[in-house]
Amino acid sequence: MTQALYGPEGFYRRPEGPAGHFRTSVHASPLFAAAVARLLCRVDEALGHPGELAFVDMAAGRGELVAGVLSALPAEVAARTLAYAVELADPPAGPDPAVRWVAEPPRGVRGLLFANEWLDNVPLDIAEADFEGRPRLVLVDADGTESLGAPVGGPEAEWLRRWWPLRTPGARAEIGLTRDAAWAKAVAGVERGLAVAVDYAHTRAARPPFGTLTGFRAGRDCSPVPDGSCDLTAHVAVDACALPGALLLTQRTALHALGLSGTRPPLSLASSDPAAYLRALSHAGAAAELTAPGGLGGFSWLAQPVGIDGRGVLGDLGDLGDMEPREASGAPD
Ligand X SMILES: C[S@@+](CC[C@H](N)C(=O)[O-])C[C@H]1O[C@@H](n2cnc3c(N)ncnc32)[C@H](O)[C@@H]1O
Q: Are 182 and 121 in contact (CB under 8 A)?
A: no
Q: Are 83 and 70 in contact (CB under 8 A)?
A: yes
CB nearer ligand X, residue 277 or residue 301: 301
One of 29, 121, 203, 300 touching ligand X (CB under 6 A): 121
Candidate segments 115-123, 172-180, 266-274, 305-313, binder of ligand X by CB under 6 A: 115-123
Q: Are 185 and 145 in contact (CB under 8 A)?
A: no
Strand partners, 105: none
Q: Find the shortest distance in angstroms from Cβ 119 to ligand X.
A: 9
Cβ count within 10 A of residue 202: 17
CB nearer ligand X, residue 27 or residue 326: 27
Strand partners, 304: 195
Q: Find the shortest distance in angstroms from Cβ 104 to ligand X.
A: 7
Site for ligand X in 140-159 (CB under 6 A): none
Residue 233, burial from CB neighbour count under 10 angstroms (0-12, 13-18, 19+): buried
Q: Are 306 and 193 in contact (CB under 8 A)?
A: yes
> How far apart are the C-alpha atoms of 54 and 189, rounded to whole Å?
11
Q: Find the shortest distance in angstroms from Cβ 160 to ligand X.
A: 23
CB nearer ligand X, residue 121 or residue 253: 121
Give the number of residues in contact with ligand X, rule: CB under 6 A: 18
One of 55, 84, 101, 118 touching ligand X (CB under 6 A): 118
CB nearer ligand X, residue 171 or residue 237: 237
Q: Residue 270, SS3?
A: helix
Letter for the amino acid at 137? L
> How far apart are the C-alpha atoms of 47 and 320, rounded to whole Å?
26
Q: Cite the DSSP H helix spans in 142-267.
A: 154-163, 177-188, 238-241, 251-257
- State which H helix or E strand residue 239 sits in: helix 238-241
> How far apart are the C-alpha atoms of 82 and 294, rounded to whole Å?
35
Site for ligand X in 53-112 (CB under 6 A): 59-61, 65, 86-89
Residue 116 in contact with ligand X, rule: CB under 6 A? yes
DSSP string, 254-265: HHHHTT---PPP
Site for ligand X in 208-237 (CB under 6 A): none
Letter for the amino acid at 109? V
Q: Find the shortest distance in angstroms from Cβ 53 to ligand X.
A: 20
Residue 251 in contact with ligand X, rule: CB under 6 A? no
CB nearer ligand X, residue 121 or residue 203: 121
Question: DSSP letter at 73?
Answer: S
Site for ligand X in 5-64 (CB under 6 A): 12, 18, 24, 26-27, 59-61
Q: Find the shortest distance in angstroms from Cβ 25 to ligand X.
A: 7
Residue 178 in contact with ligand X, rule: CB under 6 A? no
Q: Find the shortest distance in angstroms from Cβ 78 to ligand X.
A: 20
CB nearer ligand X, residue 117 or residue 128: 117
What does the binding site for ligand X look like in residue numbers (CB under 6 A)?
12, 18, 24, 26-27, 59-61, 65, 86-89, 116-118, 121-122
